[in-house]
């Protein structure tokens, strides 16, 4: 890469981030520990930043590890964050720990998802509650948890409050797409919006962060969710994972899930691919 091409490519890549983060040039310069004049030269392609400055700018812009690697490459430097496969030895201790968390959360559903809602692992309760009755096409790898949640042939036909619950999911995806632009997220967002009915919030509307109300054979499950991300991860793959655990919002839901777990057949086939379900792996 020529000395001229590198700064120009980096300048183009850098200029697209401050507006999405709503940082002024001065604010970004202060956050990165440099001067507004120097940052202006970098953004114009008149100055080539050192590797340390690129890292500081990426940190100041709160970029994901994947985006930080891309910014380093644009500046002509090698990426610093590895991207391991989920089955690599480097991530095996983490995978084992996550499996333990999923099993320990029984009898309540819990899943691990990756980039753009890709399902990585689920416990048996999630297989039973979330995937039950879904069309086979939605359960073939790669399974997308977000699509499954609102699709009319997935959970969508069983969600009593689909307009509110679906909008909650859509707004989260939209926020992610704004923060980390990705054509795949834009495509997924359009698909999700096509499955979620419109709603007109009334006087009693309290926002989209509402419990999931899901029909099952025993009645209605009311579930609240918790999200755990890996904020201190230094591996791209791990940093893009999150753990979503469902908790009962009332006593009736807790009783149904405990009873289901007691009556469950450990050798039952389930709905999701066996390799994705902790405790049912071949």
Domains and CATH numbers, the chain: 5-74 (1.10.260.40), 89-276 (3.30.450.20)
Along the 282 residues of the chain, how does pLDDT read in single tens digits?
444 455 588 998 898 888 778 889 999 999 999 999 999 999 998 888 999 999 999 999 999 999 999 999 999 999 999 999 988 998 999 999 999 999 999 999 999 999 899 999 999 999 999 999 999 999 999 999 999 999 999 999 999 999 989 998 999 999 888 888 888 999 999 999 999 998 776 666 665 567 899 999 999 999 999 999 988 889 999 999 999 999 999 999 999 999 999 988 766 778 999 999 997 644
What single-letter DSSP state applies at residue 276?
Answer: G
CB 165 within 8 A of CB 214: no
**What's the whole-model pTM score?**
0.86
pLDDT of residue 281: 46
pLDDT of residue 199: 76
What single-letter DSSP state applies at residue 118?
Answer: B
pLDDT of residue 208: 56
Alpha-carbon gap, residue 269 to 132, rounded angstroms: 12
Answer whether the bond into residue 260 is a cis peptide, omega within 30°.
Answer: no
The length of the chain is 282
Alpha-carbon gap, residue 96 to 275, rounded angstroms: 14
- Token code pair at residue 68: 């930080």
CB 110 within 8 A of CB 246: yes
Phi, psi of 279 (to 5 degrees): 95, -10
Alpha-carbon gap, residue 143 to 134, rounded angstroms: 11
Alpha-carbon gap, residue 104 to 237, rounded angstroms: 23
Alpha-carbon gap, residue 100 to 111, rounded angstroms: 12
| CA–CA distances in Å: residue 194 to residues 150, 191, 197, 229 | 10, 5, 8, 28
Alpha-carbon gap, residue 230 to 280, rounded angstroms: 26
pLDDT of residue 2: 44
Sign of CA dihedral 86, 89, 94, 95: positive
Half-sphere exposure of 84 (CA within 13 A, CB side): 16
């Amino acid at each position: 890469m020529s000395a001229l091409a590198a700064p120009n490519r980096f300048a183009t890549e850098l200029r697209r981030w401050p507006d999405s983060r709503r940082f002024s040039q001065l604010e970004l310069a202060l956050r990165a520990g440099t001067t507004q004049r120097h940052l202006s030269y970098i953004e114009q392609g008149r100055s080539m930043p050192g590797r340390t400055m690129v890292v500081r700018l990426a940190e100041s812009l709160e970029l994901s590890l994947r985006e930080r690697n891309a910014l380093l490459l644009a500046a002509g430097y090698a990426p610093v964050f590895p991207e391991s496969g989920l089955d690599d030895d480097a991530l095996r201790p983490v995978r084992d720990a996550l499996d333990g968390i999923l099993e320990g959360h029984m009898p309540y559903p819990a899943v691990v998802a990756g980039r753009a809602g890709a399902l990585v692992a689920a416990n048996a309760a999630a297989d039973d509650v979330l995937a039950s009755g879904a069309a086979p096409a939605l359960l073939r790898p790669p399974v997308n948890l977000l699509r499954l949640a609102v699709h009319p042939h997935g959970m969508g036909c069983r969600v009593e409050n689909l307009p509110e619950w679906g909008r909650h999911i859509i707004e989260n995806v939209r926020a992610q797409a704004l923060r980390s632009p990705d054509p795949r997220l834009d495509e997924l967002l359009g698909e999700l919006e096509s499955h979620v009915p419109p709603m007109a919030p009334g006087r009693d509307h309290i926002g989209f962060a509402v419990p999931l109300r899901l029909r099952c054979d025993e009645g209605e499950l009311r579930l609240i969710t918790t999200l755990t991300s890996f904020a201190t991860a230094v591996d791209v793959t791990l940093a893009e994972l999150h753990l979503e655990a469902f908790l009962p919002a009332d006593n009736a839901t807790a009783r149904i899930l405990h009873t289901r777990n007691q009556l469950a057949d450990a050798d039952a086939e389930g709905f999701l691919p066996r390799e994705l379900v902790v405790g049912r792996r071949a």
